[in-house]
Structure 1
Amino acid sequence: MAEAQARAHDHGAHQEEQCGPGEAWTRVKSRLRGELGEDVYASWFRGVEVDDIADGVIHLTVATRFLRNWLRTHYYDTVLRQVQGEWPNAERLEFSVRQPHFTVEPPKDVAIPRAVSPQVVAERSALPMPLRTGYDGFEGSPLDPRLSFGSFVVGNTNKLAHAAAHQVALSSSSPQSPFNPLFLHGNVGLGKTHLLHAIAWEVKRQKPEAEVLYLTAERFMSGFVQALRARDALAFKEKLRNIDILLIDDMEFLQGPTIQQEFCHTLNSLIDGGRQVVVAADRAPTHLDKLDMRMRSRLGGGLVAEIKTMDYDLRHKILEKRALEACAETNGLEVSDTVLAFLAERLTESGRELEGAVHRLRASYQLTDEPVTIAVAEQIVRDLMRGAEPRRVRIDDILRTVSKHYGVNRSDLLSGRRNRSIVRPRQIGMYLAKLLTSRSLPEIGRRFGNRDHTTVLHAIRKVEQLMSDDTQLREEIELLKRLLRD
C-alpha cells in the first residue's frame, strides 16, 4: 500500500515537473467548462487562478469574497474532483481573495504610470490631452489615448476585427499591407472607433514619423467644402494622397455626389500607392446605399470584418475590466461578481452602455458610501434596461433560469433525484414559483415533476428558513428574482 502511494506521489510530482501548474489548471478549467456549460463557467470560473500547490492543498485565488464563498458552497466537490485528475495527491482546496490590482495599458508612446497606486487620482491628471492627427496643415479628428489595443476587450464576436486591425497596425512599415482597405462594420457602441484609434496609436508608436490622419466622414466633408470655398480643392486632395494611413469613421454619413467622387479618387490613389486605408461604418459596404457602386466595390475589395453583437461572455469581460479599474481607483469600492453577472445579463446593447453602468455604480458609492448591491445596481441602471415594466413570469421561465444559474439540467429538477446539488435548486425554483406566479401549490407541484403540494410547501418553508440565516442565499435569490422579472 505504501509502495503504491509512493508511486502515486512520484507520478504526481513527475506530472507537475512536465508542465507548470498554470498549464494543468488551464486543463482543469477546460474540463469544468465542458461539464458545467459555458454560462456557469463564464459566471464563476473564468477568473479563478491557481496560486500554490503544497502538502496536498491546491491554493486557488479569486477576485471577490462573494466568489470565494460561492465556490466553497456550491462547487467545492466538483472542482476537487477535476483537480485530482491533474494532481492525484490533492486532498483539499483552499480559496482565497487575491489583492486587487490593475495595470493600465495605454498606447506605449504615451507616458502614463502603469501601476495604479492609492494616488491614482493624482496620477490620472497626468493623462495626456487627446492627440489631434493631421498632415501639412490639414487638421484631423482627435485621438483618445485611452482607446488602445491594450484597453480593447476581445471576445468571440469581435476577434476577427481586432486581429485584422492589429495586423494592419503592425504592417504599417511594410511595403504592402495584407488588408487594404480594411473595412470594419457593426452597430453603434461595439468598438469600431476604439479599433481605429488603436491602429493610429500603434502606427505612431512603431513609426513616429508616419503621417497618420484620422477623420470622421463629417470632418472630411467639412474640410472638402471649406477647400471648395477657398478655391483650394486641388491642394486639399494632394494633401490627403500623401499621407501614410487614412482612417475614416462613420462612413455611412458621407453624402453628396461631388464629395463621394473626390473621396473615391483619394481612396484609389492611396491604395494604388501602397498607402493604408481603414474605414468604419454601421453596415457592410454593399449595404451603404448612399454611396455609388464604384465606391462600394472599392471599399469591399479588401478585408471586410464585422463586429457582431456582444455575447454574454464578452459583456462580462468588459464589465469585469472596467470594474477592476473603478475599484482600483476608488478606495473601498467593491463590485461583486453577482452584480457583474446581473449587469451582463441585462445590458445587451453596447460597450458604452456597460461602461456607463460601471461609472454610475462608482458615482453612487462615492456619493452615498453605500455598498454596491444588486438592488443598488438595478436602481442606477434602470433607464438603461429594456422593458422597464415587469413582465409576467412563467414556471417555464423559472425552470430555465434556475437550471442555467445552478448548472443543472431541467430534467434533473423534474426528476426524483435527491442529490443536494439538485434538491436545493429545485426548492428555490418552487419558492420562486410561489412568489412570482399566481399558481397554486398543487399546480406548482405538478410542474415540478408531479410532486405533492406538501412537498412544495416544505420547500418554500425551507428556503425561507435558510434565507433568514444566510445573507449569501438572500442575495442569490434576489438576483434570480430580478433576472426573471426583467
Structure 2
Amino acid sequence: MRVDGTVASDDEGGRSGGNMDFGPAWARVKRRLRAELGEDVFASWFARLELEGVTAGTARLTVPTRFLKSWIESHYLDRVLGTFKAEAEEIGRIEVGVRGTAAPVRPAAVGAPKAGPASGPLARLHATGTPTPVAAVATPSEHRSADAGGDLSGTPLDARLTFASFVIGRSNALAHAAAERVARHQGEGALYNPLYLHAGVGLGKTHLLHGIGHAAREAGRRVIYLTADRFMYGFVNALKTQSALAYKERLRGIDLLILDDVQFIQGKSIQAEFGHTINALIDAGRQVVVASDRPPTELEALDERVRSRLGGGLVVEITALDEALRVATYVARAITANGRDLEGAVNRLLAHATLTGTAVTMETAESA
C-alpha cells in the first residue's frame, strides 16, 4: 500500500493515501522525536526525513543525501522504528532511502573530460571515465591536525573537475572568472570574501568549487572542501569526542575553506558555529567560498547576521545553460564511444551549419 499524500510542514511531513493513512502517525512520530531528542538534534538529522510509503508493514523513509541516510541508519534507526511502532502497530520494519534530487547528474557540458585533443572544438568535450577522488587535504601538517581530534579531512576533490575541463558560456563566465581569480590569488588578504556562487541543479557550481580547490592546492595553500553534511558531521563528532574547541581552532587555521550546499545546514548550535567560523576566517583574511542553490537572502533557516555576512562579498548566479552550452551538452551526451567519434560529430555539425547557412542550435545538432 503506497502512502502518497502531501507534506503538511517540515516537522509534520508525511505522505498518506491508500486504505490506511499513516500521515498523522508519522507527524506524531516527528513531534515525539523533536521532544525527546531536542531541537538541535532534530533539526540536524530529522527535519528532512520524510515518509514516502508503507508496504506490507515496511515504512520507507527518505532523506536528501546519502550521508543523512548513513547517519540515521547507524545511530537512530531502532529509535525511529520503536517510536513509529508505538504510533502505528502495523509498522514492523523501516527502510531509509535517498530522494532522487539528492544526487543530481551533472550535464556533460560542465562535466570533466579526462583525455582528448589538445586543441580544436572538442578540447573540453571528451567523455570521462570513473571519477578519481583526490584528497582534499594534502599537507602533512593538515593530516596531523586531522588525527589530533575531530574530523578535518574534508570531502575528497574529484580529479576530473578542474578549470581546464569547465566549459565556459555566457551563463557562467562571470562565476568562472571570479573562481579563477580567487583560486590563483597570491597577494595579501582575500578577494571577494566570501565568494558566493548559487545556481540550480547541474549548472556547474560544484565543478567550480572543485576547480578552486585543485588550483589553490597546486599553489601550496591549505584547502578544505566540505559539503554541508560533512561540516555538520565534523562538528557533531567533535562534540561527542569532547574535542570541539580543538576542531574549531584547526578549521579556522586553514587558508581556504570551500563549503557546498549550505542550504542544508540545520540546527541552531551548528548554524551558530557555521557563522562563527565564517566570521573568524574572513576577519583573519582567509578566503571563504560558498555555494548554494539560492542567494543568501533566501537562506531563511540561517540567522540574519550570517546571511548578511554571506552576501557581503561577491554573490554570483550561474544561470540556465545558453544555446551554445546546450548544444555542447547534447553532442557530448549523444556521442559516448570515443574521442574521435565525438570529434567527427562536431565536424559534421559545423559543416552542416556552414553549408546550409544555418546557426548551430539544438535543432541543427539533432538533425546533423
Say how many residue pairs are matched: 230
Following superposition, the deviation at residue 204 of structure 1 comes to: 1.1
SS in 1 for 2:247: helix
- What code does the residue aligned with 1:165 have? A
Compare relative contact order (CA 8 Å, sep 6+) and give the higher one, 1 or 2.
2
Aligned counterparts of 1:326 and 1:238: Cα–Cα separation in 2 = 49
- What code does the residue aligned with 1:103 have? A
**8 Å contact kept, 1:141–1:214:** yes
Aligned counterparts of 1:298 and 1:141: Cα–Cα separation in 2 = 24
Following superposition, the deviation at residue 307 of structure 1 comes to: 0.3
Give the TM-score normalised by structure 1: 0.43
Change in 2 beyond 3 A, CA 1:153/1:333: closer
Which of these residues, 266, 272, 295, is aligned with residue 255 of structure 1? Answer: 266
Aligned twin of 2:117: 102
SS in 2 for 1:277: strand
Following superposition, the deviation at residue 320 of structure 1 comes to: 4.8
Aligned twin of 2:199: 186
Following superposition, the deviation at residue 178 of structure 1 comes to: 2.3
After superposition, the C-alpha distances for 1:237-259 in whole angstroms (9 at most, x for unaligned) are 10111000000000110011100
Aligned twin of 1:174: 187
- What code does the residue aligned with 2:182 have? V
The equivalences for 1:80-159 within 5 A come to 102-103=117-118, 129-133=133-137, 135=142, 136-137=145-146, 138-159=152-173
Following superposition, the deviation at residue 340 of structure 1 comes to: 7.2
Aligned counterparts of 2:225 and 2:163: Cα–Cα separation in 1 = 16
Aligned counterparts of 1:133 and 1:229: Cα–Cα separation in 2 = 23
**8 Å contact kept, 2:331–2:342:** no
Change in 2 beyond 3 A, CA 1:167/1:333: closer
Change in 2 beyond 3 A, CA 1:236/1:192: same
Change in 2 beyond 3 A, CA 1:257/1:148: same
After superposition, the C-alpha distances for 1:36-94 in whole angstroms (9 at most, x for unaligned) are xxxxxxxxxxxxxxxxxxxxxxxxxxxxxxxxxxxxxxxxxxxxxxxxxxxxxxxxxxx
- How well do the aligned residues superpose, as a CA RMSD in angstroms? 3.5
**Structure ID, larger Rg:** 1
**8 Å contact kept, 2:335–2:345:** no
Aligned twin of 1:274: 285
Aligned counterparts of 1:273 and 1:244: Cα–Cα separation in 2 = 10
More helix per residue: 1 or 2? Answer: 1
Change in 2 beyond 3 A, CA 1:252/1:243: same
Does 2:325 correspond to 1:311?
no
SS in 2 for 1:141: coil
Unaligned runs of 5+ in 1: 1-100, 105-113, 115-119, 342-404, 409-474, 481-486
Following superposition, the deviation at residue 338 of structure 1 comes to: 9.8
Aligned counterparts of 1:339 and 1:259: Cα–Cα separation in 2 = 54
Following superposition, the deviation at residue 321 of structure 1 comes to: 6.0
Aligned twin of 1:237: 248
**8 Å contact kept, 1:182–1:304:** yes
Does 2:300 correspond to 1:289?
yes
Aligned counterparts of 1:300 and 1:215: Cα–Cα separation in 2 = 20
SS in 1 for 2:168: coil
After superposition, the C-alpha distances for 1:200-240 in whole angstroms (9 at most, x for unaligned) are 10011122xx2110000000001101111111111111011
What percent of counterpart residues are identical?
A: 49
SS in 2 for 1:214: strand
